[in-house]
Structure 1
Amino acid sequence: MSDTIIRKKQPRTHLDLDEDKKQNTSAFRSILRYGRPHRFTFVLIFFCSLLGIAAELSQPYLIKVAIDDHLALGRTGLTFLIQIALVYLVLSVISFVFTYIQNNLLQYAGQNIVAALRKDLFTHITKMSMSFFDRKHSGSLVTNVSSDTETISSFFTQVLLSLIRDGMMLVMIIVFMFQLDVTLALYSVAVLPFIALVAVLFRKYLRETYQQARTRLSRLVSFIAENLSGMFLIQAYHQEKEQMKQFNEQNGQYFSANVRQIRSNVIFNRTFDILGNIALVLMIWLGGKAVLGSSLEVGVLYAFISYIRQFFQPINQITMQWNTFQSTTVSMERIWAILSTDPGVKEPDTNKAVTLTTDDVNGRIDFNDVSFGYLEDQPIIHNLNLTVHAGEMIGIVGTTGAGKSTVISLLNRFYDVNEGSIEIDGVDIRKMPQETLHRIVGLIQQDPFLFSGSIIDNIRLFREDVPKEQVIEACKFVGADSMIRRLADGYDTHLSKRGSGLSAGERQLISFARIVVFQPRILILDEATANLDSHTEQLVQNALSSVAAGRTTIVIAHRLSTIMHADRILVMQEGRIVESGTHKELMELRGTYEDLYQHALEAGRETIFEEKSRNDAG
């Protein structure tokens, strides 16, 4: 018998459903709070709708008066007809003006609400810790910020308009119909329970179809984003056909879900059309019999038929907006799921926060019995104890998965330690505001990120308070000035996404210039020379020597030549420091470091290292 255990999907209980309802209600209320600053605008919208609808619904009643009180009695004077026409025109103009004002006010309020929501959502995302981005794909977040907020915009500009205008129109039509004839009005409103029944029956199905379509769209967007960012790899390994196959599969799934959603919407809307037409035929039949029996005036029947047509128009509009409302509910839940998520790395309490200026920091770093794992039951760092003295330069080496980059992520507080503490000058970094910490600690990664914009803005990170002269001095200091001046527009040269017009070495030099501009006391290089040729590496090494002077520097090295002159080299293995010392001391141990060195020589990657070793030996 197979040892595989087949787990049955547990049925959802009433407690689960109640919890979902509470979350849905919480999300809806939280998003609606964004409308509070515009409450007076909504009051004005209500009164504009009231006046516009009153003017529109007075028109059939005006025709009824003209037919029954004048034309039916033989009063057909031209003066009277002109008066009726002028009153009708005035009512039409009033309806148009107030409807126009109402729509503009609603669009203004709705767009402001969604702009504020989108701003808060983006701000909240930027404050989330790295563990959040480990779980959430960038394509999904793009969908949240763009598409989901647009859906909520549709709620405020379409659904809310329908609830105000069409709901008010429906009530006023019923009032007018009861004013004209109670019996026919009762027959008309008798269809309302059927409408409510259809809405209830379709509600869950419409919600499920929309949610499925949105989920598959999010997956498709994520897939496209991944492929665009990795296009060089796809072309290098001729993966176009395989990726196209996967795209067609994702696209087909979204197509099927979208067709299903559209089909359900069509059935839902056409059902109401049929109900409306049945009611209209019934009213014409009953009203016609009453007119023939002389128990109902012709003008009343005309007005009633007009109101019946208008009676189902707001109902149809409201039911059509039901689909948008369902999609809005799903979008609100998705956005609220992000807004209600607290960052894994939290800011310290204001009364306990320790704020340091760069001048106050010497740069001593202490890892005190630190343990950490991205998953709690799978530790990566084990009881790490390490002291880095102020102004010291240390290198960290080790095989892939040894925990080198994890140590750096913990020092930058992208993640919080599970156990122990990390201190800078005796202050636990968890007590520092993150703005303070990231001003003290500067990070240069293997592939530095450059934004779309000019070179000068990339160096000063779009801060206008940093003068151009300071940027130029920083570039001269790291040896990037001559490279930049060779470009067409010099420091004003516009870079495309991620600086694709520059080489890896040129991007690194720009990242070194950033460090000089912002003057952090602690400098971290994470595999900063891993992808550079030997000539470019030499330029970057010179820049590193200039930038590292007087700073506490930690270098994670892929090439051992990068850290051979470090004050101390740490060798990590399975989350622990297994060897520590200078290059010469570690070679004499004939342990893990020597193995790494020999492996690098055999791979032909350490020509610079070999030359420097010979020079040192000599």
Structure 2
Amino acid sequence: MRPAQAINNWQADQKADPNMPEQKPEYVSAFRALSGYARPHLWSFIAVIGCTLIAILSDLMQPFLIKIAIDDNLLSGKNDYKGLLAICGIYLGLAISSLLFTYLQNNLLQNIGQSIVARIRKQLFGHILKQSMRYFDRMSSGSLITHVSSDTEALNQFFNQVLLSLFRDGFTLIFIIVLMFQLDTQLALYCLILLPIIWGIAVAFRSYMRTTYQLARTRLSRLVAFVAENLSGMNLVQVFHQQKEQQKQFDERNSSYFKANLREIGTNVIFGRTFDILSNLSIAFVILAGGNSVLDKQLEFGVLYAFVTYIRQFFQPINTITQQWNTLQSATVAVTRIWGVFANKPDITDRDHEPLDLHNLELEDEADERQASLSNLNLEKVKGRIDFNHISFSYEEGVPIIRNLDLHIKSGELIGVVGTTGAGKSSLISLLCRFYDVKEGSIRIDETDIKDIPQATLHRLVGLIQQEPYLYSGSIIDNVRMFDESISPKEVIRACEFVGADSIIKKLKNGYESQLSERGSGLSAGERQLISFARIIVFKPKVLILDEASANLDSHTEQLIQHALQIVSQGRTTIVIAHRLSTIMQADRIIVMSHGEIVEQGSHQELLELEGHYKELYEHSQGHS
């Protein structure tokens, strides 16, 4: 395949996959940013270079010793046995020195590389966690998994393989050229003719190989994204018997990635074998030219032996570097993709949040500390009054979801929010949690605009219980206290007793120490909800939001949740988005939404008397036509 055709195919792949971030040729900028992580390891790099130089010299002096043994002893007729023994001893010492310093060089470089990659992986995951919900709306989880796992692993290979090869093989090449000129200037000049040829081959392959590796990485990301989506929706796949269709789509993506990999491997093989041919031709030429000089007694045999050995070693580092070319290209693409993630700034930021410097990412940790210092709002004094002041919002420009909504909720009030699908109920809650920002108007808690409240503080003020509460892999205690060890197990147990989850938890084999699998698959929906209610008791938010929390529960479990709701709503402002009207009939006030606007509000009885939208919803819920 021609390079131009490969580029067109890669661009077509990117257009077909909207989840993939655009690949821009910002390689220099990305590696410049990467150098900032290497700066703290400067002295370790100097030690690596020192060990590399000693190891290389120990290797390259061995053929020179044999040359001395041949020309100055054996062929000269001296037969100096002691001199040969001395040369053997020095040879053995050089071999041991090479082994020792190669070991030190490898371990030092591995330590540097692993430290840098671990830090980047940590900051990458932390940066993803800070992104706004809009970012996750447009990015698939599979693509993000690829960035955190595969791309950082490619970067790891850069330090473990490419950088090691550049240090060791680059210096080896330089020293071999110096030694060849030391042995015979004319033969060395003949060999240097190869350098422009090698350079030309490298330049010719460079653009094509980069495109090939980008294509493989893009298709891998698409494959991972597809697998992640299918695993998360496996129940839907099986219920609708989509196994064959999903297998077919997987096979298409897998085949596409397979072909890209074959192209990548084929390109690498052709590139590497080209240098093998050049190496063999060079050795044949040196033997021919050098052999004639030896026969004419213009060149010593030991010099020819050493020269042939160095020619073999001359192509070994070049061949090794070329073998690492695909790893270098993968690392280059990975670095650009990783820094593409870092370049995405959250839509939702705190007022004093400073822009992220891509060339000095260590400043991000300092920014986190500054933001933490802004979170000193006294949570105990917050009463929980909420004001939605003529807010408007849309996910996409020109498609309004909420229109000029004006709503005021007193502290301690229990509010029910109902409406048909698409009425804007969940969007209203997302705005209060500041997952998104309003386009117009403002949202205030106790007269303070939520944009002026640090997000860490806001999310302690506002507790959210969703329809599908998320539980992590870990013990029940850790899931209730969200791995915050400042909260004691006794507080967790009291909270679970308070909401009625204690009797359920004690039935488990290990009680509160029972280990939950991902998403708490060992528990029923109601049991997971009770644990999420216990979280509210533990963290004591001033505002509580329930987003369809009882929509998928049976009547018995719903009664448990209703009881828990009565307990946790005491003393705090509560907003309940309800699909079942029975869950909010006792609310202080019920808000009826339609097309992003409040069309009715009042108590259950008052709304029935209006004979409007609420009564229609109520009769529908009771089974009336």
Report the secondary structure of 2:115's partner residue.
Answer: helix
Report the secondary structure of 1:70's partner residue.
Answer: helix
Question: What are the equivalent positions in structure 2 for 1:183-262 lying under 5 Å apart?
Answer: 183-262=186-265
Among 499, 509, 532, the alignment partner of 2:530 is 509
Question: What are the equivalent positions in structure 2 for 1:348-497 lying under 5 Å apart?
Answer: 348-349=351-352, 355-497=376-518
Tell whether 2:15 aligns with 1:50.
no
Distance in 2, matches of 1:141 and 1:603, equals: 47
Distance in 1, matches of 2:564 and 2:293, equals: 97
Report the secondary structure of 1:356's partner residue.
Answer: coil
**2:223–2:254 CA contact under 8 A, matched in 1:** yes
Among 304, 311, 316, the alignment partner of 1:313 is 316
**1:354–1:431 CA contact under 8 A, matched in 2:** no
Among 102, 123, 126, the alignment partner of 2:105 is 102
Distance in 1, matches of 2:297 and 2:525, equals: 92
The farther-off stretch of 573-582 and 448-457 is 573-582
Distance in 1, matches of 2:350 and 2:127, equals: 13
Among 32, 36, 39, the alignment partner of 1:36 is 39
In structure 2, the CA distance between the partners of 1:170 and 1:359, relative to structure 1 (3 Å rule), is same
Distance in 2, matches of 1:365 and 1:531, equals: 28
Report the secondary structure of 2:126's partner residue.
Answer: helix
Runs of 4+ in 1 over 3 A off after TM superposition: 19-22, 350-355
Distance in 2, matches of 1:499 and 1:354, equals: 31
Among 262, 266, 281, the alignment partner of 1:263 is 266
The farther-off stretch of 194-203 and 505-514 is 194-203
Report the secondary structure of 1:578's partner residue.
Answer: strand
String of CA shifts for 1:57-102, please: whole Å, max 9, x gaps.
1111111111111111112233222211111101111111111100
Distance in 2, matches of 1:117 and 1:42, equals: 18
Question: What are the equivalent positions in structure 2 for 1:301-340 lying under 5 Å apart?
Answer: 301-340=304-343
Distance in 2, matches of 1:133 and 1:283, equals: 62
Distance in 2, matches of 1:603 and 1:334, equals: 56
**2:73–2:80 CA contact under 8 A, matched in 1:** no
**Unmatched runs of 5 consecutive residues or more in structure 2:** 1-7, 12-21, 353-369
Distance in 2, matches of 1:21 and 1:511, equals: 43
Q: Residue type matched to 2:500 in 1?
A: G
Q: Residue type matched to 2:99 in 1?
A: F
**What is the CA-CA distance between 1:603 and the residue it aligns to?**
7.5
Report the secondary structure of 1:602's partner residue.
Answer: coil
Q: Residue type matched to 1:397 in 2?
A: V
Among 330, 345, 350, the alignment partner of 1:347 is 350
Q: Residue type matched to 2:209 in 1?
A: L
Report the secondary structure of 2:297's partner residue.
Answer: coil
The farther-off stretch of 45-54 and 586-595 is 586-595
Among 595, 605, 608, the alignment partner of 2:616 is 595
**2:608–2:614 CA contact under 8 A, matched in 1:** yes
**What is the CA-CA distance between 1:358 and the residue it aligns to?**
2.1
String of CA shifts for 1:185-226, please: whole Å, max 9, x gaps.
011111011111111111111111111111111111111111
Q: Residue type matched to 1:315 in 2?
A: I
String of CA shifts for 1:343-398, please: whole Å, max 9, x gaps.
11112217995742221100001111211111123221111111111001111111
Distance in 2, matches of 1:274 and 1:248, equals: 38
Number of matched pairs: 590
The farther-off stretch of 239-248 and 550-559 is 239-248
Distance in 1, matches of 2:240 and 2:530, equals: 30
Distance in 1, matches of 2:110 and 2:70, equals: 40
Q: Residue type matched to 1:184 in 2?
A: L
Among 140, 145, 148, the alignment partner of 1:145 is 148
Distance in 1, matches of 2:184 and 2:206, equals: 34
Distance in 1, matches of 2:613 and 2:53, equals: 82
Report the secondary structure of 2:585's partner residue.
Answer: coil
**2:385–2:446 CA contact under 8 A, matched in 1:** yes
In structure 2, the CA distance between the partners of 1:222 and 1:547, relative to structure 1 (3 Å rule), is same
CA RMSD, Structure 1 to Structure 2 (Å): 1.8
If the length of structure 1 is used for normalisation, what is the TM-score? 0.93
Aligned to 1:567: 588
Report the secondary structure of 1:91's partner residue.
Answer: helix
The farther-off stretch of 304-313 and 216-225 is 216-225
Among 289, 293, 298, the alignment partner of 1:295 is 298
Distance in 2, matches of 1:31 and 1:203, equals: 22
String of CA shifts for 1:486-527, please: whole Å, max 9, x gaps.
111110111111000100000000000000000000000000
The farther-off stretch of 436-445 and 31-40 is 31-40
Distance in 1, matches of 2:508 and 2:600, equals: 45
Among 475, 499, 508, the alignment partner of 2:520 is 499
Distance in 2, matches of 1:105 and 1:355, equals: 43
If the length of structure 2 is used for normalisation, what is the TM-score? 0.92
In structure 2, the CA distance between the partners of 1:20 and 1:190, relative to structure 1 (3 Å rule), is farther
Distance in 2, matches of 1:293 and 1:603, equals: 113
**2:154–2:330 CA contact under 8 A, matched in 1:** yes
Distance in 1, matches of 2:375 and 2:120, equals: 32
Distance in 1, matches of 2:578 and 2:404, equals: 22
In structure 2, the CA distance between the partners of 1:181 and 1:152, relative to structure 1 (3 Å rule), is same
Distance in 1, matches of 2:392 and 2:35, equals: 43
Q: Residue type matched to 1:399 in 2?
A: T
Distance in 2, matches of 1:92 and 1:486, equals: 67
**1:371–1:379 CA contact under 8 A, matched in 2:** yes
The farther-off stretch of 208-217 and 24-33 is 24-33
In structure 2, the CA distance between the partners of 1:108 and 1:353, relative to structure 1 (3 Å rule), is closer
**1:371–1:417 CA contact under 8 A, matched in 2:** yes
The farther-off stretch of 544-553 and 226-235 is 226-235
Aligned to 1:15: none
**What is the CA-CA distance between 1:56 and the residue it aligns to?**
0.8
**2:140–2:225 CA contact under 8 A, matched in 1:** yes
The farther-off stretch of 231-240 and 523-532 is 231-240
**Unmatched runs of 5 consecutive residues or more in structure 1:** 1-7, 12-18, 605-618
**What is the CA-CA distance between 1:21 and the residue it aligns to?**
7.1
String of CA shifts for 1:289-309, please: whole Å, max 9, x gaps.
111111111010000000000
Q: Residue type matched to 1:494 in 2?
A: Q
Q: Residue type matched to 2:507 in 1?
A: R
Report the secondary structure of 2:549's partner residue.
Answer: coil
Among 162, 180, 184, the alignment partner of 1:181 is 184
Distance in 1, matches of 2:25 and 2:396, equals: 30
Q: Residue type matched to 2:592 in 1?
A: V
Q: Residue type matched to 2:606 in 1?
A: E
Tell whether 2:117 aligns with 1:114.
yes
Aligned to 1:169: 172
Among 63, 73, 83, the alignment partner of 2:76 is 73
Distance in 1, matches of 2:34 and 2:401, equals: 40
Question: What are the equivalent positions in structure 2 for 1:498-577 lying under 5 Å apart?
Answer: 498-577=519-598
**1:66–1:84 CA contact under 8 A, matched in 2:** yes
Report the secondary structure of 1:569's partner residue.
Answer: strand
Distance in 2, matches of 1:546 and 1:340, equals: 45
